Chains A and B, each alone.
Chain A
Amino acid sequence: MRYNLFNQTGYIIRFYLRRDRFLIVGWLILIVGLMGGAAAKFDSIYGTKAALASIVTTLKTPAMKAMFGSFTAKPPYTSAIIYASEMMVFMGLVFAMMNIYFAVKNSRTEEDNGTLELIRAHSVGKLSPLIAVIIELFVINLINGVLIAISLEFAGMTGTDILGNCLFGLGLAAFGFMFGMMSLLVSQLANNSRGATILSYLILGFTYIARMLTDVKNTNYTWITMFGLIEKLEIYTENNWLPVLYMVLSALLLLFVTIFASTHRDVAAGLIPTRPGRRNASFLLANPFSLILRLERISLIIWTCGLFVLGISYGSIFGNIGNLLKTNPSVAKLIGSSAIKSSNHAIILNFAATLSVVFAVIATIPAVITILRINNDEKKGWLEQIHARGISRSNIFFSYIAVALLCEALCLLVALLGMGFAGMSAKDPVSLLRFLRAFSGYLPAIYVVSGIAALFTALFPKIQNIVWILPIYGLFSMYFGNLLNFPKWAKQLTPYGWVNRVPLKEVQWNNGVVMIGLTLGLFLISYLIYSKRDLLES
């Protein structure tokens, strides 16, 4: 008799890989493109000794440690070492996101849809679907890792070696797989896919912030933070394989706990129980606006708190930055200001200006999710009953928009406030109000992004997800734009690049008014298109 826990696993793996092939290729292009594209450019940016020396000083500052991880390499420096140090944390983040995406999609979402039930009703082992997801994640990470190693080998930066390239690729793969297993475990605990995604990102965010704080305060502790393991590979210098072993062991441990948890629960049930809810609607729940607010309540709270904590974490290192940067004016190149003002304020504000873009981009994410929900909820059939009532399409459309605009404004505000409050601990603090310049400066820009998202929702409902390019490219161009010497136009492709360096500079009010006008125009056009087309069917 065959051991029937694992019956048909091979078939399910092939089915999953086949079904996800376009998504897998999409992530591959994104990841390998980012890695290879940057690698091809690094030699020309850091070709001279002077450029290398200046970037090393920069990377050793706390602000840069907070963003890119600690810089531990010893001289002689090469562009490969700089590359490894700048890319590692960011790519780790991208790998973790890819793994959370596939892990939740192929485990918890399948259960929510009821697909898993159908599969399990056939002669398929109890554990087969789960094992299939695990192997699929393993394969995806491995392909990504190998292709990264190959692309690095081809890019041929000065200072690379085949061992380092392999370690880079496989290290990221192991790191991704570890977070994939974490997310699979979370999928067993949560009782729906949305909850599983939120919880996975919370854990990722927590490890990221822990990594940042240990990097700035004491790098000896970085490796405990799970996220920090990836910084200990010391690629192109020591080529340390030990962290890969740690990551694989952690992944195995998580894997066994996941399998244990999965065998101790029913399909479609979570280990976190559900409580009975309200018998009647509260008086607040009375129209589409309050309904959407109520549905988004949990994620709204999580995004707001998350951004507040992120703001506090960055703000808390302002004290370190003010002191050190004073002696390292070359950092100004990286932060992008041409004026090398050596006052602490200017340095802090300059760093704050870079962070503000990051906050602005992150604050757009919940808003774009909410706007795209207009079609996503429609497809799920949730809105059919609302359309059948005396509720106009404009009411529904603008309710989603209003929740989105409110949410992103709140997220941006709390992130800046968190940064400002925590920044008070610096020796010579900058006033809180000054940071709010970034709010007035970036709010119109992120509203334009929301306007574009609304236009996609109305005009191209089937391919609306393309709009995610805006925040992804926005973050990339703003985060790496200066390091990779992006031309000005390349940074201005997204609305994030249309804002000057607030809070360092004055707010350009006339610029803001134009963007608000543009936003209103986009919403109006979107609504006109939306009100005239068929709604989506499930």
Chain B
Amino acid sequence: MSEKILEIKNLQKKFGKFEALKNITFDIKKGEVFGFIGPNGAGKSTTIRILLGILHANGGSAKIFGKDVWQSAVSIHKRLAYVPGDVYLWPNLTGGEIIDLFLKLNQQRHSARTDELIKQFDLDPTKKVRTYSKGNRQKVALIAAFSTAADFYIFDEPTSGLDPLMEEIFQKNVMHLKNEGKSILLSSHILSEVEKMCDRIGIIRQGKIIETGSLDDMRHLTRTVFVLETQKPLESLSQLEGVYNFKPVLDKEGVNKATFTVDSENINSVLEKLVAYKIISIQSTPPTLEDLFMRYYNQKEGSR
């Protein structure tokens, strides 16, 4: 088993009476890209801010490189780089000045790689931050992070202000880090991004981690979508065990066409029974991350 970069156990955080984090538990292994997804207000940023030692947890433990995130914040941060979703920078400094400052604060220097990144992201470093858009401020933080030699990178919705072109450059650089064996925590709403890059995914909802695993693992936990056309009427199909979201498509002759979803564990038994309806055509789509996402997000509290 490989070395764990991040280890979070039963992490809890309260703001007054509000329980922002109820129970957060997950690990990130060395060399792994971990996708952290969940609806707004679920506790993603709070978790990350605890990992950075900005907030103090009320219970549980969080360790990076095997050290406590609160006690050893400074030594952990020497090997860590972070990009928040909303980057706020000093309005009267230039982007170039801030990039250099950030590097120096980690005892590193402006390198050829930094210049290359500035070029890739197409940033004018001589402009004052006051004149930058949200996307440009994000670029400053991204350039500083990517040119920092670290072992663990945390990105909290890092591309929310970037255009698709820049998003691609971001993905390219993340893959570059991945190939170098770095570990990455990526919190994002752009599911295609997560699907493409992440080895494992953690879904957080209302302060709890409700699922972790690889995308393949999760597909087993979910439903496949079918579009079916038959010669015999289909109504009775909705009664079968494991069939959900049955939506008939009405024709003149009655219901001969429908879409529905099937639980992974019931696929075999459902398919066996479909033959009796005389299939004209059948399509099945594996669940995308988006389906997973929607399924988990729409769940009512306590339904799992």
A interface residues, Cβ below 8 angstroms from B: 191-192, 274, 276-282, 285-288, 291, 294-295, 298, 380-382, 384-393, 532-535, 537-538
Contacts and interface: CB of A to CB of B under 8 A. Distances in A.
B52 interface: yes
Given A386-B105, A389-B102, A278 B126 contact: yes
Contacts, number: 114
Given A277-B128, A389-B77, A295 B92 contact: yes
Contacts of A532: 56
Contact of B105 (A295, A298, A391): A391
A13 B77 CA distance: 48
Given A380-B88, A390-B107, A534 B56 contact: yes
26 contacts: A274-B130, A276-B127, A277-B96, A277-B127, A278-B94, A278-B96, A280-B97, A280-B100, A281-B100, A281-B104, A282-B97, A285-B100, A287-B104, A295-B92, A381-B86, A381-B88, A385-B144, A386-B105, A387-B52, A387-B53, A390-B75, A390-B78, A390-B107, A391-B74, A533-B56, A534-B56
B97 A278 contact: yes
Given A281-B101, A286-B104, A385 B93 contact: no
A484 B99 CA distance: 56
B6 interface: no
Interface string B172-184: 0000000000000
B102 A385 contact: yes
Q: Which are the 7 A-B pairs with shortest beta-carbon distances?
A: A381-B88, A281-B100, A277-B94, A388-B82, A390-B78, A389-B105, A281-B97
B91 interface: yes
Given A388-B82, A390-B75, 4 more contacts: A384-B52, A388-B80, A388-B81, A389-B77
B130 A192 contact: yes
A285 B97 contact: yes
A538 to B, nearest CB: 7
B110 A280 contact: yes
Interface of B: 49, 52-56, 73-75, 77-78, 80-82, 84, 86-94, 96-102, 104-107, 110, 125-128, 130-131, 141, 144, 154
B96 A281 contact: yes
Contacts of B131: 274
B100 A384 contact: no
Contacts of B52: 384, 387-388
A389 B104 CA distance: 10
B62 to A, nearest CB: 15
Contacts of A535: 54-55
B126 A277 contact: yes
Nearest to A279: B96
B153 to A, nearest CB: 11
Nearest to B124: A276
Contact of B89 (A385, A534, A538): A385
B96 A389 contact: no
A538 B88 contact: yes
Given A381-B88, A384-B54, A391-B105, A277 B93 contact: yes
Nearest to A288: B105
Nearest to B52: A388
Count chain B CB atoms within 10 A of each CB in A276, A278, A389, A393 and give the residue with the most: A389
Contacts of B101: 281, 285-286, 291
B109 to A, nearest CB: 11
A112 to B, nearest CB: 8
A197 to B, nearest CB: 14
